[in-house]
Amino acid sequence: MRKNPLNKIIQSFRPAVFMALSLTLLLFGCMTYAPRVSQISTSTGEIVFKETKSRSTILKKGGPKSILPVEKPPITKRIPEEKIMLVPPAYSKTFVGVLLPLTGKFAPLGRSLLDAIQLALFEVAEENVVLLPRDTKGTVEGAVSAAQSAIDAGAQFLIGPVFSSAARAVADLKKESGLISIAFTNDRIAAGQSAYIIGLIPRQRIKRIVGFAMSRGVERFAALLPSSPYGDLILEYYKEIVIQSGGVFTRVGRYLPGQQKSIVQSVKRLGNYDERKIALENRRKVLESQIDAISQRQLRRLEDLETLGDVDFEAVLLVEDGQALTALAPLLPYYEIDTRKVRILGISDWGARALHREPALQGAWYAAPSRSPLIKFYSRYRKIYGRPPHPLASLAYDAGALASVLGVQKPPAFSEKVLTNPRGFSGSIGLFRFRKNGLVEHNFSVLEVRPDGPVEISRSAKSFVKVRNN
């Protein structure tokens, strides 16, 4: 029997009808059927869902139900034929605009996000939710045009666009319409005035990983960051959070992305390599001038060393991932930053197999979404579409599921009050909630890199109370 996707909620919203939103966006870990067959209308661009036999059977067996309280049907009298209304109520269909790059070099990204949104509608929504996909072409101008087209077609809610510059432009455009939108960026400037962002915000991940590290006894922090606007932002957040948490920020290394010489020099400066090497040479000279047994034993102990002494930090933050990380991490021990003593910290998803095989990363800690619901989403997506989802697809699923749950209400519940409920929602990457300033807040787990794969050593919080770091 298909489970009712609306019979749970991460927190119960009882005060009002929509505060009874019994929703859980994390759904159907064992789904064995495909989404409804859909097609895009060539005349309107709408995605129309066609009922399948299996879907109908599922509904008859107890499929999705309204999240409104069940009430007895009212006693009605027969309406005279001349008074029968042939026009359906205004809320018989809910139109959700979807702004994605569906052509051009970002088309694979847009397709994956759209597939995730359709999967969410299938798992959550009734038949009255209609998607209005619009192609942003991956440009600011295209995003503005797409948003206007969706609004003109009757969109009551907008999902997208993807990129920060486009999200800012669309936020400015839709102020006049009063529509609520959820964009995939993590750009704080794009948030506010009914414009919400669902992208993972680096500051929250930094706060989580620093707090956890301090709970494990780490007090002195360093960073190795790219010389870029993103690196500047991370450095600002990192220093502030370390100091506010009672830690000590000791030093930072900056490098030009993709330039090996710059990266090597940055690592050497971070670990004070040249000075420590000179200190070792000077120490050897002193001991070599001594002929006593103690000095000679000390000299032998220095034979395999390249530098003298330890670095002045216990943890170092890296923001790279993928191949850039596997190229960067080995340079730390090579230039005498002992990763057996210095903990590498991360704010990217380091779950890829290639990273587990890198010796320098063994024992590294990183803040990331909870793996259990994410793995289930990836499994469902791959089973339906035959390919892995884009990393952003989980966010698209959550945005689509939330729009679907609110959209099945009569009338639709697209309001700031519902969207910013402080108890939040449970999605494909764990618990999240929207703030009134338009920013999203996610709860993150802490994972440790190990040879057999990442291990969750501190689970994400189950509610938005003070997060414990142990």
CATH code of the domain in which 222 resides: 3.40.50.2300
Look at residue 81 and tell me if it is in a domain: no
What pTM did the predictor assign? 0.77
How large is the average pLDDT for residues 359-376?
94
CA pair distance 271, 308, nearest whole angstrom:
11
* Position 66 confidence tier, pLDDT thresholds 50, 70, 90: very low
> Roughly how many angstroms between the first and final C-alpha of the chain, as a whole number?
39
Beta carbons within 10 angstroms of residue 248's beta carbon: 13
Length, in residues, of the chain:
470
How large is the average pLDDT for residues 103-127?
92
Phi, psi of 402 (to 5 degrees): -65, -45
Look at residue 6 and tell me if it is in a domain: no
CA pair distance 253, 266, nearest whole angstrom:
5
Same domain as 109, residue 160: yes
Look at residue 357 and tell me if it is in a domain: yes
Better pLDDT: 9 or 226: 226
Look at residue 316 and tell me if it is in a domain: yes
CA–CA distance from 97 to each of 92, 161, 305, 380 (Å)?
16, 10, 62, 24
Q: What is the DSSP letter of 14?
A: -
Same domain as 192, residue 157: yes
CA pair distance 113, 400, nearest whole angstrom:
10
According to the 3-state scheme, what is the secondary structure of 108-149?
Answer: HHHHHHHHHHHHHHHHHCCCCEEEEEEECCCCHHHHHHHHHH
Same domain as 192, residue 99: yes
Peptide bond into 161 cis (omega under 30): yes
Look at residue 341 and tell me if it is in a domain: yes
Residue range(s) defining the domain that contains residue 349 = 201-265+312-368+444-470
pLDDT for 119: 95
Model confidence at 225: pLDDT above 90: yes
* Average pLDDT of the residues of the chain: 80
Same domain as 144, residue 180: yes
Same domain as 94, residue 210: no
Look at residue 1 and tell me if it is in a domain: no
pLDDT for 126: 61
Q: Give the torsion sign (CA, 77, 81, 87, 93).
A: positive
* Position 211 confidence tier, pLDDT thresholds 50, 70, 90: very high
pLDDT tens for 236-265 read 999 999 999 999 999 999 999 999 999 999
Same domain as 290, residue 191: no
pLDDT for 306: 76
Better pLDDT: 27 or 446: 446
Same domain as 383, residue 327: no
Look at residue 75 and tell me if it is in a domain: no
Least confident of 22-31, 217-226, 277-286: 22-31
| Bridging pattern class, strands 343-346 and 365-368 | parallel
Same domain as 325, residue 297: no
Same domain as 331, residue 459: yes
Model confidence at 201: pLDDT above 90: yes
Using the structure block, give the residue that is written with the tokens 């569906």.
102
Share above pLDDT 90 across residues of the chain, in percent, rounded to a whole number: 57
Model confidence at 288: pLDDT above 80: no
Look at residue 165 and tell me if it is in a domain: yes
Domains held by the chain: number: 3
Same domain as 185, residue 205: no
Model confidence at 386: pLDDT above 60: yes
pLDDT tens for 314-337 read 999 999 999 999 999 999 999 999
Same domain as 326, residue 430: no
Same domain as 385, residue 237: no
* Position 62 confidence tier, pLDDT thresholds 50, 70, 90: very low
pLDDT tens for 96-109 read 999 999 999 999 99
